[in-house]
Amino acid sequence: MTEQNVSGAETAELLTFPTEFPIKVMGLSRADFAERIGAAVRELVPEFDAGTITATASRNGKYTALNVVIQAQSHEQLDSIYRMLTAHPLVKVVL
C-alpha cells in the first residue's frame, strides 16, 4: 500500500467553493453542547442555521457527536473553523 502526501494547496484544488461541507464535532454530553457549538460556528459563518445540527449520543451517553454542515466559501474559512472548534473548551475531537 502506498501513502500519498497531499499538500494544503492540492487539497484546496479538490474542493470547489462555495461547497456544502460536513464537520463532525465530538464532546462530553451536556444540554447546551449543540447550542454552544452552533453559536461558535455562526461567528465565522453568519448565515449558518444551528437548527440543522444533528446530534448522536455515544452508547453510554457520556459523549455527543454533532454533525454540522456549513456552506464553505473558501479553504481559509474551513481552516479557521477547524482551528476555532479544536480550541473550544467543550470540544474533544473535530473531523
- Predicted confidence at residue 11, as pLDDT, reads 56
- Residue 86 sits at the vertex; the CA angle it makes with 82 and 91, to the nearest 5 degrees, is 125
- Predicted confidence at residue 10, as pLDDT, reads 57
- Predicted confidence at residue 31, as pLDDT, reads 97
- Predicted confidence at residue 14, as pLDDT, reads 85
53 near 87, Cβ under 8 Å?
A: no
48 near 38, Cβ under 8 Å?
A: yes
Note the pLDDT tens digit of each residue in 27-50: 999 999 999 999 999 999 999 999
- Predicted confidence at residue 25, as pLDDT, reads 99
- Predicted confidence at residue 9, as pLDDT, reads 56
69 near 52, Cβ under 8 Å?
A: yes
